[in-house]
């Protein structure tokens, strides 16, 4: 096994220094690019620029539907002229008329007058 002496005090020459140092132009342009980008982001945040907000949709009134004409039935049903059905319809009309004329409030029914003076 061979032992290699290490020299800790080796000073690199100019060629080795040039390889380790990055070129200055790309660093400058990159810094300017990121600086401008940072300024744009800060302006967008603080001035509240609309980045991708959709415009609000304003409600618009809908047109009023118009009823369509329903043609009269030219061929009525057999039951439309049946005597039993006509009798039921006539009785139903009488009941509806009675309901319309009936006084549902019944104003003549009042609460009795109570004597609140109670002595023990």
Q: Is 57 exposed, middle or buried (0-12, 13-18, 19+ CB in 10 A)?
A: exposed
CA dihedral 72→76→77→82, nearest 10 degrees, is 120
Give the whole-angstrom CA distance, residue 119 versus residue 81: 73
Q: Which tokens is 15 given?
A: 């060629």
Long-range Cβ contacts of 61-67 (<8 Å, 24+ apart): none
Evaluate whether residue 97 is within a structural domain. no
Evaluate whether residue 104 is within a structural domain. no
Give residue 31's domain range.
23-50
Evaluate whether residue 46 is within a structural domain. yes
Evaluate whether residue 37 is within a structural domain. yes
Evaluate whether residue 108 is within a structural domain. no
Predicted local distance difference test score (pLDDT) of residue 109: 79
Q: pLDDT by residue (tens digit) across 59-113?
A: 888 888 888 887 777 777 888 888 999 999 999 999 999 999 887 777 777 788 8
The stretch 16-35 carries a mean pLDDT of: 76
What's the total number of domains in the chain? 1
């Amino acid at each position: 096994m061979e032992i290699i002496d290490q020299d800790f005090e080796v000073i690199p020459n100019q060629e080795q220094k040039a390889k380790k140092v990055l070129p200055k132009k790309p660093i400058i342009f990159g810094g300017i690019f990121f600086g401008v980008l940072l300024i744009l982001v800060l302006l967008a945040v603080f001035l509240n620029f609309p980045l991708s907000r959709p415009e609000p949709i304003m409600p618009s009134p809908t047109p009023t539907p118009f009823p369509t004409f329903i043609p009269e039935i030219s061929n009525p049903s057999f039951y439309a002229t049946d005597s039993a059905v006509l009798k039921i319809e006539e009785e139903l009309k009488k009941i509806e008329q009675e309901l319309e004329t009936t006084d549902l409030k019944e104003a003549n029914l009042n609460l009795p007058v109570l004597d609140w003076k109670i002595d023990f």
